Structure 1
Amino acid sequence: MLTPARGIRASTGPGGADGPPTARTSLPGDARAPSAARRFVRSVLAGWNAHALVTDDATLLVSELVTNAVVHAGTSVDLECRLDPAPGGNLVVEVTDHHPAREFRPCPRPAAGDREGAAHGGQGLRLVAELAETWGTAYRRTDKTVWFHLPTSPADEHTGALSEQALLRDLRVAEILAPGARPEPSGRRAGDRSHHRALSFLAEASELLAGQFDEDMVASLATQLAVPRLADWCAVWLDVEGAPGAIRPVPRLARVWHARESRIEPLRIALQRTPPALPAAGRAVPWPQGQYGHCRADAPHGTHGAEGPADGTALACRLVAGGRGVGTLLLGRSAPAAMAGDVVCLVEDFARRVAQALASARQYTRQATISRILQRGLLPRGVAEIPGVDKAVVYEPRGDASAGGDFYDVFGVGGGRWCFALGDVCGSGPEAAVTTGFVRPWLRLLAKEGYGVADVLDRLNRLVCEEAAEAAESGAAPRFLSLLYGELVPHGKGVRCTLASAGHPLPLLLRPDGSVRAAAVPQTLLGVVEDVGYGSETFDLTSGDTLLCVTDGVTERKSGNRLFDDGDGLAAALAGCTGLTAEGVAGRIRRAVHGFSRTPPDDDLALLVLRAE
């Protein structure tokens, strides 16, 4: 039985009379899957005494296909390896995801000089086509599988010489992984194989590090990629801002990894006690390892640092991206010989990729923080309590760290009146946030001045049109918005509601008998035409009546070519909420919207529920 990573299931078949040797595992649909798949394949093939070249090729292909499945399907991934029992049989590998609607589109080979293929997406299927004996895809109702066969004897095992056909294949693979970096084919076949493995390692590192939004995760991945391929142990420091006026950044030890797990904590303690000085930017330089004697992979447990300097070598490399240092990478080996020049060059290439991933993660974090602060400032700190009205709000900005264009508000204006609003600014990002930033205060100001619902929309529309005209003069794109705005006045028999919709999805009124109707009529967006003349609707909410207000993130939620509100889907969902509290209605509608599609929502989601008690 294999020992999988936490959260990963694995099993093996005995083979022999019971069938061909088989190993299976289930992988999570997240960033852990590719590295777990590589460990699984290497462990399985080592147990089957597979040829080293077969192991390298299988590991590379599985890493690419599992990454594709995680990125594009977003589901858990099933991985199966088995040996064909026939003489001279193949290694058979199957990678299965659970998103059968997604079709694989093999990448055509780009023409000479064309780099577009390398610039977009993974290269998994092109690599499969180059390396596999045969391959294909199988679609079923609930999942789909990409399978491939690899010959179990890719080279003459007595001489180790590759055939000319295998050499040319490796050159094509190198071109796929790193266009323009193809090695010369003449007379250096062992060097070509080494170059192929280096390119495979760098391609794998780039694939795993790209798109990571957390710098600690980048540091963790970097150390696990480096150990044991490049070093016996690895550590990453991240630069953090020091005290005001400090000249140098303060290093923070973010991650330590050792080939032997029992050495990780002693190594961390020693490195925290004596961190390395900052090396020259972009160069891997030898580093004295005597102070890290505990790092020896063969040191007896409990003797770290007690026997004086240990034999070994270490390299320190400054992590620099865009001319700015972001951290330091330190790698060590227990062998006393200095690292070869090609290894040093590989470490420097690897460090550049780690530095770029760290810089991207930091940029994302800064942007997310700014957007979060901005979003928090654009939304009300709380919603007013309204006598006789049970209420609930759901607000979920889309998950790309940008400030959304949706907003809501519920506030009192005095004299026994309360107002509510649900709006959606055209577009997203800072421009939409700016519009939201002035619309909500204007709305409150007009309501507190005593204007009725229709008059508030008329005046707000003129203000938005003036802003749009000024934006057009400065060359900026004008911003329009849809708005649902209403006023509530509690009285002895219920709550009188007056509302109007300006280009917004119409509010729905649910009666206790389960009937649902639209509670307003469509009118023009705000900011499009200056003299419109808005109207309003007035009705009473009696006990058990529920008013549902949503943005188009609900009604236009997509699943393939369908929208959530096609065929009055929202009204049908609301009709099933009879008797529920406001929170119950909000929760059920939210679950229905999320469950409408397997993909995450691609727009802000906001809804407001008002229920007469």
Structure 2
Amino acid sequence: MHAGTTVELLCRLETEPTPDGGRAVVVVEVSDHHPARAVRARQASSADETRGHGLQLVGAVAESWGITYRRDLKTVWFRLLAGPHDRVYGPPARFSQDDPDLQRDLRAAELLAPAPVRRSPARRSDADWINHGALSFLAEASDLLSGQLDEEQVALLAAQLVVPRLADWCAVWLYDGGSRDSSGAPPRLARVWHSSEGRIDALRMALEKDPPVLPVPGPQRDGAGAAVPWPWPQEPSGYGPGGAALACRLLAGGRDQGALLIGRAGLMRFPDEVVGLIEDLTRRVARAVATARAYRNQERISQVLQRRLLPRGPATVPGLESSVVYEPREGAWAGGDFWDLFDAGDGRWCFALGDVCGSGPEAAAVTGLARPVLRLLARDGYGVGEVLDRLNKTMAREATDSVAAVAAAVAAAGPGPDAAVELRAEAEQTRFLSLLYGEIVPHADGTAGARCTLASAGHPLPLVLGAGGGVRVAAAPQMLLGVVEDTSYESESFDLAPGETLLCVTDGVTERRCGHRLFDDDDGLAGHLTACTGLGATAVAEHIRRAVHAFAATPPDDDLALLVLQATERR
């Protein structure tokens, strides 16, 4: 196989009903469980090239053939007519592994030599193929395209779906700005495909000179994606001896995404059945391109938000060692968890570990509101309880507006600026925030250790690991931020002695699930923390992180964040 993957080969004998009783057919299926793996780069072609002719060989000898795509499987199948069972051509031949006929590599020219003789009479008409396989073809195309979030991959799949089933070659153009209206530039030739791989480069060179710019239809025809005849290229060396060509606009959501151009040698015009099928396929391709671009734009927004959410790095606190683990859940844009550790002035260092009730850009918007407000209040000299009081009022009043603004921005980045923005019930809850917030003040007399004051607002409670291995809870539970505006928050203070470790985590740690069990069931987190006795802050953080990942076989389905502060001896 070109991609170097392992394949499964299945052969079976079937009886196909015919008017005179039936005929035997051999069905061969070749399945690849890695259909998205990149094909290995081919070396410069030579006259005795023996690879890359698989589908040509299948098309030459098969009575019918096709490709079936699934999420994680690609199957090439073909059917061969079997000869009569009662015909005897002579005694069975005997071969050994050393037989030179078995060891000889057949050249592609030998394998394909019968193609011109066999293919023409055996080839089904377009009407016959479409009547028997059009619905299956469109269903497979929809299933394959719907899972793609990369517009370049969509263009590649579109070309390979068309060739060689419906055309001899295909080209896909895309507008780099996201649409014809927004880019203002000619479309870019994103993909070229030809049934003869050796002609792809020549085809690309010829097509790049003249990109198709199709007229924009009126509003009443918006979304039609009608195919129009297109002049056959002037350089037949890249296309074949001459034939018919069709061009279709890739139109989705009222926006021109690009164009699809196909050609088939030896025709004066495409049959109506093929034109209709191409138009159906083009609409699916256009929607897939638009979806991929919407995903790309939303991902870009989330990446910008996430960069603003995370501090550049933890501040250095005198007499303390710190370590942070921050892992957004697999496939997430911007995590709903956040952390901070900063110098608040007057010999105070403040820390925070929070978790927004939600995910995606909406959660990132709430984090982007909470973190700067928290820093501002801390540097204005407010104590821990006062910071939470004021942040709670801010969350209750302002967070919903921030979420709505980001939802509107995300919607504009997707289907279009006129798309309706709906604030879901999940987004309404996004203004709620669980937060563990505190401040560290190293002892003024220069002795080792520090005074710690903290409060937990609806957050997993912090744990303190003593130098002797004992673990204690360091705060009392209180109300989530943003739920009740007039809630008052209380803080607790204690000394963090040398060798003692403060562990703060989000619910991505405590609620890590394995079946019906949670990571923190039966004080599981405290047990793992006890096992960290004698370790430094970085080693403690890594031990807990590994324990969380090892708790279940599947990747975590929530953000994972933890902050470790350990008092050290003064130097």
TM-score by length of 1: 0.65
1:458 corresponding residue in structure 2: 389
Q: Which residue of 2 aligns with 1:538?
A: 494
Counterpart of 2:210, as a letter, is T
Alignment of 1:100-179 (within 5 A): none
Matched, 1:523 2:481: no
The equivalent of 1:490 in structure 2 is: 442
Matches within 5 A, 1:444-455: 444-455=375-386
Give 1:208's match in structure 2, choosing from 138, 144, 148: 144
Give the 3 Å change call, closer, same or farther, for CA 375–284 of structure 1 in structure 2. same
2:512 to 551, 557, 565: 557
Compute the displacement of 1:260 (Å).
2.6
Shift of 1:295: 2.5
Relative distance call for 1:567 and 1:234 in structure 2 (3 A) is farther
1:196 is matched by which residue type in structure 2?
A: H
Deviation at 1:356, TM superposition (A): 0.4
- The answer to whether the Cα contact below 8 Å between 1:368 and 1:401 also exists between their aligned partners in 2 is no
Matches within 5 A, 1:388-537: 388-398=319-329, 403-467=334-398, 477=428, 479-491=431-443, 492-529=447-484, 530-537=486-493
Compute the displacement of 1:238 (Å).
0.6
Tell me by how many angstroms 1:579 deviates. 4.9
Separation in structure 2 between the aligned mates of residue 537 and residue 505 of structure 1, nearest angstrom: 17
Q: Which amino acid aligns with 2:456?
A: S
SS in 1 for 2:349: strand
| RMSD, matched Cα | 4.3
Q: Which residue of 2 aligns with 1:184?
A: none
How far off is 1:244 after superposition? Answer: 13
CA distance 1:250–1:391, change in 2 (3 Å): farther
Q: Structure 1 pair 250/244, CA: closer, same or farther in 2 (3 Å)?
A: closer
Query: AA paired with 1:332?
Result: G
Greater shift after overlay, 190-199 or 412-421? 190-199
Tell me the amino acid that sits aligned with residue 465 of structure 2.
Answer: L
Shift in alpha-carbon separation, 1:245–1:196, aligned structure 2, 3 A? closer
- Report if aligned partners of 2:337, 2:506 keep a CA contact under 8 Å in 1: yes
SS of alignment partner, residue 291 of structure 1: coil
Once the two structures are superposed, residues 152-181 of structure 1 have per-residue CA deviations (whole angstroms, 9 ceiling, x without a partner) of xxxxxxxxxxxxxxxxxxxxxxxxxxxxxx
Aligned to 1:607: 562
Q: Is the 8 A contact 1:233 1:295 kept in 2?
A: no
| TM-aligned CA deviation for residue 312 of structure 1 | 2.6
Separation in 1 of the partners of 2:400 and 2:181? 45
Change (3 A) 1:79 1:274: closer
- Matches of 2:32 and 2:158, distance apart in 1: 24
Residues 1:376 and 1:25: Cα distance change in structure 2 (over 3 Å)? same
Deviations 1:446-495 (A, max 9, x none): 22222332332234334444558999xxx994632211011122343133
Indicate how the Cα distance of structure 1 residues 504 and 225 shifts in structure 2: closer, same or farther if over 3 A, else same.
Answer: same
Shift in Å, 1:360: 0.9
Q: Aligned pair 1:291/2:297, yes or no?
A: no
Work out the CA distance in 1 between the residues paired with 2:278 and 2:179: 32
- Aligned partners of 1:78 and 1:265: how far apart in 2? 26
**Contact preservation (8 Å) 1:409, 1:420:** yes
1:540 partner letter: L
Indicate yes or no: 2:225 matched with 1:228. Answer: no
Aligned to 2:523: 568
Residues 409 and 533 of structure 1, relative CA distance in 2, 3 Å threshold:
closer
Task: Identify if the C-alpha distance between structure 1 residues 585 and 31 changes in structure 2 by more than 3 Å, giving closer, same or farther.
Answer: farther
Distance of 1:469 and 1:322 partners within structure 2: 29
| 1:27 and 2:25 aligned | no
Report deviation, 1:319. 0.5
Structure 1 residue 293, shift from structure 2 partner: 1.9
1:378-398: CA deviation from partner (whole Å, max 9, x where unpaired): 333433222233323233334
CA distance, structure 2, for counterparts of residue 366 and residue 78 of structure 1: 29
Question: Quick one: structure 1 residues 516 and 27, their matched pair in 2 at CA, closer, same or farther if it must change by over 3 Å?
Answer: farther
Q: How big is the shift at 1:25? A: 6.3
* CA spacing shift, 1:280–1:379, aligned 2, 3 Å: same
Distance in structure 2 (CA, Å) of the matches to 1:567 and 1:247: 59
The answer (yes or no) to whether the contact 1:236–1:327 under 8 Å persists in 2 is yes
Alpha-carbon distance in 1 for matches of 2:172, 2:495 = 65
Rounded to whole Å, the distance in 1 between the matches of 2:344 and 2:295 is 40
- Structure 1 stretch displaced more, 199-208 or 220-229: 220-229
User: Contact 1:13 / 1:22 at 8 angstroms: preserved in 2?
Assistant: yes
Q: Find the structure with the greater CA-based Rg.
A: 2
CA distance in 2, matches of 1:243, 1:469: 32
Aligned equivalent of 1:195: 131
How much does 1:219 deviate? 1.0
Residues 371 and 401 in structure 1, CA contact (< 8 A), matched pair in contact too: no
Q: Identity of counterpart residues, as a percentage?
A: 56
User: In the TM superposition, what whole-angstrom CA distance separates every residue of 1:330-367 from its partner, at most 9, and x where no partner exists?
Assistant: 11223344221111111111111000001111111111
CA contact (8 A) 2:373 2:391 kept: yes
Contact 1:484-1:504 at 8 Å conserved across structures: yes
For the residues of structure 2 that align with 1:361 and 1:349, how far apart are their CA atoms?
Answer: 19
Residues in 2 aligned to 1:360 and 1:13: alpha-carbon distance in whole angstroms: 36
The offset of 1:46, in angstroms, is: 5.8
Task: Give the 3-state SS of the residue equivalent to 2:291 in structure 1.
Answer: helix
Distance in 1 of aligned mates of 2:361 and 2:27: 57
Question: Gapped runs of 5+ residues in structure 2?
Answer: 13-25, 39-53, 86-124, 218-224, 403-422
Matched, 1:325 2:260: no
Q: Does 1:593 align with 2:524?
A: no
- In structure 2, give the amino acid aligned to 1:5: A
- Listed one character per residue, the Cα deviations across residues 371-415 of structure 1 (whole Å, up to 9, x for unaligned) are 221232233343322223332323333456654432211110122
Mapped contact 1:577–1:588 kept (Cα < 8 A): yes
> Secondary structure of 1:241's partner?
coil
TM-score (norm 2): 0.70
- 1:549 and 1:433 mapped to 2: Cα distance? 21
Q: Equivalent residue for 1:267?
A: 203
How far has the Cα of 1:326 moved from its partner? Answer: 0.2
Structure 2 vs 1, CA of residues 598 and 206 (structure 1 numbering), >3 Å: closer, same or farther?
A: farther
Deviation at 1:598, TM superposition (A): 4.6
Stretch deviating more after TM superposition (599-608 or 396-405): 396-405
Partner residue in 2 for 1:9: 6
Contact map agreement 2:126 2:271 (CA 8 A) in 1? no
Contact 1:367 1:401 in 2 (8 A): no
CA contact (8 A) 2:232 2:243 kept: yes
Unaligned runs of 5+ in 1: 34-41, 71-76, 90-188, 298-309
The residue matched to 1:290 in structure 2 has which SS?
A: coil
| Partner residue in 2 for 1:147 | none
How far off its partner does 1:576 sit? Answer: 4.0
1:360 match: secondary structure: helix
CA contact (8 A) 1:283 1:317 kept: yes
**Separation in structure 2 between the aligned mates of residue 327 and residue 295 of structure 1, nearest angstrom:** 22
Query: How many angstroms does 1:220 deviate by?
Result: 1.5
